Amino acid sequence: MAKATIIFEDIDVTVTAPAGTRLIEISEKVGSGIVYGCREGECGTCITKVTEGWNNLTEPSVLEDKILRENMAGKHNRLACQAQVLGGVIKVKPV
Amino acid sequence: MSKLPQLTISGIAQAVELSERVHWIGAMDPSLRNFDIILKTANGTTYNAYLVRGSEGVAIVDTVKENFSNDFFERLESVASYDEIKVIVLNHLEPDHTGALPELMRRAPQARVYISQKAQSMLKALLKQDEFDFTSVLTGDKVSLGDRTLEFFHTPYLHWPDTQCTYLQEEQTLFSGDVFGCHFCDARLFNDEVGDFRFSFEYYYAHIMRPFKDYVNKALDLLEPLALINILPAHGPLLRDQPKKYVQRYRELSSSVLQSEIGAGEKTLLIFYISSYGNTRRMALAIYEGAMEIEHVRVSLYDLEGSEVAPFVDLIEGADGIVFGTPTINGDAVKPVWDLLSSLAVINLKTKVGGVFGSYGWTGEGVKMVEDRLRGLKLRVPIPGIRIKLIPTEEEIESCREFGQHLAQELLGLRQPRVIDMADLA
Ligand SMILES: Cc1cc2nc3c(=O)[nH]c(=O)nc-3n(C[C@H](O)[C@H](O)[C@H](O)COP(=O)(O)O)c2cc1C
Ligand code: FES
Ligand SMILES: [Fe+2]
Ligand SMILES: [Fe+2]
């Protein structure tokens, strides 16, 4: 199965995970500062800055874009409970 | 004796004049004893709504709980007609202030609703109607009523995500929503006339605002510079006497409880445990010793059986890391642990580090359950918890010591960069 490499910059941890895994599932396992509320793309608690490998994540849905906008998230931000890793290298950190 | 504002005439509710252009049009709810499940009130509450008259139209700031709509509309009608209403401001969307909104919009269809940017998606869930217009606003946005101007301040999470405060510039009056409010019902209305409401003010802060201290501090940065003649909150007394004192009190309440002895660059780690036969206690001691080997981390050890919950909540609020030790009993972590964990909603736990350990007999699910709970409470749990079957061996005690060391290092950001395969994390 395809694997992705995710680097959590706030805790200096690198994880390899199968394609399709949501960022939040990885984050909670390794204890990064990216935390969650609803886990359903609604509350914006899990907003995460993607500093590298934006295209190695699934595209944000219309709904995710809306929540990001509503929370005035900056560019390069994603909801960790929605973004799934596709492959390659992805660097993230809590906002 | 002070003069009571005239709240009704011949059974019809009347607006109370606060200035030539500002009226209170809220409602009294003296018999309420319990609010939002989490709050008690010994003498009810008020739902404060306000009407502002400008040369080019009227604004309504907040409404009331639905079953008090009559009082609200009668008071409104006593000073304005519906077709004059140009603006409706909702400082947050909780039903105690938006209960009369749908009816108000029916009566004043030309009025435009002003809500904070974060309120958009909630407004739909609240009104159950999709197509109507509103303007979403942020700090610095203004709406003009001719010779009166309302300015908005985005103060998220005080106490709902969509909270804002609204400032009437020409009168230096802040409509603060639930901020600076309290549940206290007294027909004399003004803070220099009502009975002693200090307890209610502090209690309201402790239960409603305390979880959002960081946001309170950010909001105060915005509000402190304002010239203030009045603070008009959404519940309780109207603060016309020394309004700045209440702002200052919020600042005090949002700073640390006790002056801590912990130096800059030092981190604090609290270890809480409970133990029936001493096995989880042995683990706790080893973790304590391990953590103490790391410089610049101040470690404390507490037996949950030795205290009430409240002081522990205060301690946790100021700590950088917290560790829980619980045996598994009847397939669960034990009640004193859950009691403490279910009391933490009044403080902010985000960015704190958590860890769990415990002795067990045959299933040992308690540790995992508490770990999940800590994650749910938004702590980060960087090191998998330790479960030890019955009495710990020397080797196992050593692993507890390491657990303590690693947690302490984690707090200082000292752990080596790690590479992990997701498959290895059970
Ligand atoms: C003091 C207070 C705090 C709240 N906190 C949250 C929260 O953190 N997350 C959430 O999803 N909803 C929160 N809510 C919203 C309630 O869940 C929502 O109003 C719900 O509809 C209440 O349901 P009920 O009518 O059954 O009591 C909060 C409401 C109040 C009054
Ligand atoms: S956890 Fe709520 S949006 Fe991701
Ligand atoms: Fe509220
Ligand atoms: Fe309220």
Residue that finishes a domain, picked among B213, B235, B253: B253
Does B421 lie at the interface with A, CB-CB under 8 angstroms?
yes
B247 lies in some domain: yes
- B148 Rama sector, left if φ>0, alpha if ψ -120 to 50, beta otherwise: beta
Measured CA to CA, the distance from residue B297 to residue B263 in angstroms comes to 10
Distance B46 CA to ligand 4 centre (A): 9
3-state helix, strand, coil in chain B (%, to 5): 35, 25, 40
**Residue B225: partners with Cβ closer than 8 Å, 6 or more residues away:** none
Ligand nearest to the CA of B36: 1
ipTM of the complex: 0.84
B425 alpha-carbon distance from chain centroid: 35
Q: Quick check: B95 pLDDT over 60?
A: yes
| Domain ranges, residue B209 | 8-253
Given an 8 Å threshold on Cβ–Cβ distance, is A12 in contact with B415? yes
B362 lies in some domain: yes
Counting the structural domains of chain B, the total is: 2
Pocket test for ligand 2, best of A46, A68, A70, A92 (most atoms within 8 A of CB): A46
Q: Quick check: B226 pLDDT over 60?
A: yes
Q: Domain with B419 in it: what CATH number?
A: 3.40.50.360
- Who lines ligand 1 at CB under 6 A? B 36, 38, 94, 159
Q: Quick check: B285 pLDDT over 60?
A: yes
Residue that finishes a domain, picked among B253, B285, B318: B253
Query: Could you tell me if B196 and B296 lie in one domain?
Result: no
B206 lies in some domain: yes
- Who lines ligand 2 at CB under 6 A? A 36-39, 41-46, 79, 81
Considering CB atoms only, which of A26, A35, A45 is closest to B380? A35
Whether B39 and B1 have beta carbons less than 8 Å apart is answered as no
Residue that finishes a domain, picked among B230, B253, B276: B253
Substitution target in A10, A13, A71, A91 with the highest count of B β-carbons within 10 Å is A13
> Residue B231 phi/psi, 5° resolution?
-110, 125
Query: Could you tell me if B307 and B271 lie in one domain?
Result: yes
Substitution target in B118, B422, B424, B425 with the highest count of A β-carbons within 10 Å is B422
Q: Quick check: B371 pLDDT over 70?
A: yes
Measured CA to CA, the distance from residue B48 to residue B237 in angstroms comes to 9
Show the domains of chain A with their CATH numbers. Answer: 3-94 (3.10.20.30)
Mean pLDDT of chain B: 95
Measured CA to CA, the distance from residue A4 to residue A16 in angstroms comes to 6
pLDDT band at B289 (very low <50, low <70, confident <90, very high): very high
Please state the rounded mean pLDDT for residues A31-39: 93
Q: Quick check: B1 pLDDT over 60?
A: no
Secondary structure letter of residue B65 according to DSSP: -
Measured CA to CA, the distance from residue B59 to residue B51 in angstroms comes to 6
Does B350 lie at the interface with A, CB-CB under 8 angstroms?
yes
Query: Could you tell me if B182 and B267 lie in one domain?
Result: no
Given an 8 Å threshold on Cβ–Cβ distance, is A13 in contact with B425? no
Give pTM, 2 decimals.
Answer: 0.85
